[in-house]
Amino acid sequence: MKIRYSLIAAGVVALAAAGTVSAQEKTFRLLTWADYAPADVVAQFEKESGYKVEVTLSNNEEMISKLRATGGAGFDLAQPSQDRITGPQKEFGIYKSMDLSKLKSELFIPSMLDATKKNTTLDGKVFGLPHIWGTEGLVVNTKLTQMSDYPDLCRADVKGKVSMRLKRPTLISFAFASGKDPFALYNDPKAYTALMEEVGKTLTACKSNVKFYWDNKDMLFNGMRTAEVVGALMWDTGGWKLNGENPDIKFIAPKSGATGWIDTFAIPAKGKNDAAAYAWINFNMRPEIAAKVATSAGNFTASKGADQLMDAKLKAQFAASFPEAAIKNIRWYPAVPAGLEEIEGRILDRVKAAN
């Protein structure tokens, strides 16, 4: 009798475990940026695939922190920028290599797919695929001032009227404006530190020009809207949004080059639902879906043909900001070697603390 009861109990436990596994298999946990998973796109994917999508919004620093803390557990797909993949992977092992046979590679813009695969390859394995891309440069109220490159933010006539972030993109941008190529020094910590020291001095001397260092878009947008800020180092879609409200405010690709980023698809090392992750990637690369996501994010995607379905006004704004020469001059972020951000962090802390 005890044996019979034990068998029944074991059967109940097995059924419960099976139910748990089934629920896990039907749940897709996405770690992504704001606006990359709009509600209508999520609803359509859930209807077509049968998966339940759980979305967690984040940014590069938080994504790496979350995945590092769990060894790559807790999510089935993450969307770090391409320069945040091979470094953290080499140091912490937080991603799985991509199974390219499960992709509908014909849906991607070939050149962007090839470039991202190259930039996210470690030990012969690919760890990231391209999704959303964009740039940072200058946003200027052209009625109140004219600017063509980052050092214009430090001119005497705009003292107290500009904004920027105390983050690594600002260091990189001013480094290019100084005539140097910081990316070429990524594997030379001593030379890179020396360059960043020089940029730090430039930014310290520029502090009196800064109305505020922005850390969220509302803060920056309000400064531009009220003309408290007449020029800022910021991203393209923010400039285009403001341009839609005030045609005098424009995004300008700087002479020394806008910096370009690509946010990727990457599978965490301990993700439990790879099938759902690949289904989401292929779904998002369909042109009609990619166009919806691009409209939500305000950026273009790596989906082949999606740009033809984009909002006409956004396409026109892009064309105005990026003539052919400016596109060729985009400085695409390569992978960040381990230890580099610690160097930058010390410089930024010094700038912040300076009087």
Q: What is the pTM of this model?
A: 0.77
Structure-token match 């006004």, residue found: 313
Question: Can you point out the beta strands (E) in the chain?
Answer: 27-32, 52-57, 77-78, 95-96, 121-122, 125-126, 129-141, 162-164, 210-213, 231-235, 249-252, 259-265, 267-268, 300-301, 331-332
177, 151 Cβ separation under 8 angstroms? yes
Output the pLDDT for position 23. Answer: 54
Task: Specify the residue for token string 């969220």.
Answer: 216
| CA dist., res. 196 & res. 343, Å (int) | 8
Smallest CA-to-CA distance from 235 within 139, 107, 115, 355 is with 139
C-alpha distances in angstroms, 326 versus 56, 246, 322, 329? 35, 23, 5, 5
Return the pLDDT at 1. 41
What is the pLDDT, as a whole number, of residue 22? 52
CA-closest candidate to residue 132, choices 307, 316, 325: 307
* Whole-number pLDDT of residue 24: 56
d(C-alpha 113, C-alpha 123), whole Å: 18
Strand partners, 134: 261
How is the beta sheet containing 52-57 ordered, strand by strand? 52-57, 27-32, 77-78
Domains, the chain:
2-133+261-325 (3.40.190.10), 136-260+330-353 (3.40.190.10)
Q: What is the mean pLDDT of residues 31-42?
A: 96
Mean pLDDT of 125-132: 97
297-344 pLDDT tens trace: 988 899 999 988 988 888 889 889 988 889 889 998 988 887 898 999
Torsion of CA 337, 342, 343, 345, to 10 degrees: 130
Residue 70 phi, psi (nearest 5): -110, 0
Report the C-alpha gap between 256 and 136 in whole angstroms: 12
Q: Which runs of E-coded beta strand occur in 81-167?
A: 95-96, 121-122, 125-126, 129-141, 162-164
Indicate the pLDDT class of residue 219, thresholds 50, 70 and 90: very high
Residue-wise pLDDT for 54-71, tens only, equals: 999 999 989 999 999 999
Q: Which residues contact 51 (CB under 8 A, 6 or more apart)?
A: 26, 27, 28, 45, 273, 276, 279
- The Cα 45–Cα 77 span in angstroms is 15
